[in-house]
Structure 1
Amino acid sequence: MDFSIDIRESRGLRTLHFDGRWMQGAMRITRPWDLELEYTQVMMACLLMRDESSFPRNILLIGLGAASLTKFLYRNCPLAHLTVVEIDARVVDAAREHFGLPHDPVRLNMVIGDGVDFMMASDQTFDLILVDGFNEHAHPGDLNSLPFYQACRSRLSNQGMLAANLIGLCRGVKGGFAHIESAFEDRALMFPQCKSGNTIAFAATAGVINVSLDELKKKSLAFEQRTGLALLPALRKLEMMWPASHSL
């Protein structure tokens, strides 16, 4: 990897950058376990879409960044085992030194490697796969491909879900979302674009998600009480696109 990794701090916010330009993650120093960036918060809407008693137990994250998603899931899904695939060992070192990435070999497995290669070679089954990997040009590379999303689906359990960050893709032609729709046979949903330009997509395997927006909003209130994360604003944006009675 021939790009630099920079850590910055301003007004209580610590951020991770590649080549001094693209922000890869952020942490509020006084609230290190919280999700600071809007798109990371939206990605956690996946936790509202399945029954809490059975989902998830085995989670895969592709792309570490500042470890925001990893830390949130580690803390708020205490029964889950997490596998994180990060292509650059320097990012892992930065996350441990500056962003409080936990060291727990029992619950948290760190893999240094390419996310596409990992998916193509893996024989593991996951309940949740989160894709948030980019190079120094803020491009997902081969993570944005039909074969990759097909591999993701093949590695998900019957109640499994995918959450993907589609920043940098051309939304005018649906970008990587078209690949997700194809791989998951249209069992997919794209949330409204975040202010940062990130667009989050969700997809389900054979276990179709049958929950209305009204139900999601009710579940979000209990989720906020438990985790401190308010997902109601994101759901209200979604409601402008979908009728409240619509099931996903």
Structure 2
Amino acid sequence: MKAGANALARSRKPVQELPDVTLSEDGEVRFLHLGTEWIQGSMIIADPFAIELDYVQRMMAWLLFVEPDSVSKRKAMQLGLGSAALTKFHFKKLRMHTTAVEINPQVLAACQGWFKLPPDGPRLRVLLADAGQEIRQAQHTGTIDALQVDLYDHEAAAPVLDSPDFYADCRSVLTDDGTMTVNLFGRDASYERSVQSICAAFGEDAVWAFKPTREGNTIVLAQRTADRPTRMQLLARAEEIQSRWELPAVKWLRIFKPIQ
């Protein structure tokens, strides 16, 4: 099966038009689908709070730009719940205040029933809402340190929210040293258009990108405030990330660089 992107059906669709959630398992891994073969998320059954897919791990590259000791004091938000891999990791492993936004109640129910998503509490909220509308709510402005955006429909052809205005709204919720990571997947033309939209909102000097995974997922990172750490600084940070949280951050540095 091919690794696609986490799903979030576009706003303003009535609930009955949202795609149905289906599950599959392959040995030790459980997968989430939205009525197609595309994998919208996964979970290692024996280790439910780990991140299994490479592209989802790369969404954690924001850790390269903050002090590790500050992480648990920060706030994270995911636009698109998928199998809740990122939400669970931020909440359980990083001990962060975490908010996820998901429009499809079936996705939320699947995550609670089959993917070990903990219930809402003082540090965790899952909002059933349109991401494009929720991101504009005043209470979020300037409060988020790590924003992950993974907004695809069941066909996984192109992001459903992908305009310069949308990315400007994403930038507005970030703290001064906050970072957005975005999963881009699909046709080359779609990728280039997405990067242009991100650059229009953040500025080209604030945008970094990974090389694509074998499945075609390309993670793009954008900083609220552009910063270019030295390679030695990044390496030291990557080694610390790898030691603390078992993410392959040292390997990231071979495939991650500024776009200009």
- Structure-2-length-normalised TM-score: 0.85
CA contact (8 A) 1:43 1:164 kept: yes
- Is 44-53 or 62-71 further displaced after alignment? 44-53
Distance 1:134 1:196 in 2: 15
Where relative contact order (Cα < 8 A, 6+ residues apart) is larger, the structure is 2
Task: Work out whether 1:75 is the aligned partner of 2:85.
Answer: no
1:228 and 2:246 aligned? yes
SS in 1 for 2:98: strand
- The equivalent residue for 1:134 is 152
Q: Aligned pair in 2 of structure 1 residues 173, 68: CA closer, same or farther (>3 Å)?
A: closer
Q: How many residues align?
A: 240
Contiguous gaps of at least 5 residues in structure 2: 1-16
1:195 aligns with 2:211: no
Q: Paired residue for 2:232, among 192, 214, 225?
A: 214
Offset from partner CA, 1:43-80 (integer Å, 9 cap, x none): 111111122344461211100011111111112221x2
Change in CA separation of 1:30 and 1:118 when aligned onto 2, cut-off 3 Å: same
How far has the Cα of 1:141 moved from its partner? 4.6
Looking at structure 2, the residues matched to 112 and 2 of structure 1 have their Cα atoms a distance apart, in angstroms, of: 13
SS of alignment partner, residue 27 of structure 1:
strand
Aligned ranges 1:126-165 → 2 under 5 Å:
126-165=144-183
Candidates 48, 66, 74, aligned match of 2:83 = 66
Percent identical? 31
CA-CA distance at 1:210 after TM superposition: 3.0
Give the residue type in structure 2 aligned to 1:29: I
Show the counterpart of 1:15: 31
Change (3 A) 1:97 1:153: same
Counterpart of 2:64 in structure 1 is: 48
> Is 2:28 the counterpart of 1:28?
no
Matched ranges for 1:84-103 at <5 A: 84-103=100-119
Q: Deviations over 1:102-129 (max 9, x none)?
A: 1142111110011111112343121121
Cα contact 1:220–1:231 (8 A) shared by 2: yes
Structure 1: how far apart are the matches of 2:29 and 2:160?
31
Q: Deviations over 1:122-155 (max 9, x none)?
A: 4312112110121111145542111100011111
| Residue aligned with 2:23, SS | strand
CA displacement, residues 150-193 of structure 1 (integer Å, 9 cap, x when unaligned): 01111111111111111125258623111111101221111111
Letter in 2 for 1:75: K
1:4 to 20, 32, 47: 20
Per the normalisation by structure 1, the TM-score is 0.89
Q: CA deviation at 1:17?
A: 0.6
Change (3 A) 1:21 1:74: same
Contact 1:64/1:133 (<8 A) preserved: no
**Alignment-derived partner of residue 131 in structure 2:** 115
After superposition, the Cα gap between the structure-2 partners of 1:5 and 1:14, relative to the gap in structure 1 and judged at 3 Å, is: same
> Partner amino acid for 1:123?
Q
Q: Using a 3 Å threshold, how does the CA distance of structure 1 residues 172 and 102 change in structure 2: closer, same or farther? A: closer
Matched with 1:204 is 223
**Matching residue's letter, 2:135:** M
Cα separation, 2, equivalents of 1:86 and 1:68: 13
Q: Secondary structure at the match of 2:234?
A: helix
1:190 counterpart letter in structure 2: A
* 1:106 aligned residue: 122
SS of the equivalent of 1:32 reads: coil
Unaligned 5+ segments in structure 1 are: none
What's the Cα RMSD here? 2.1
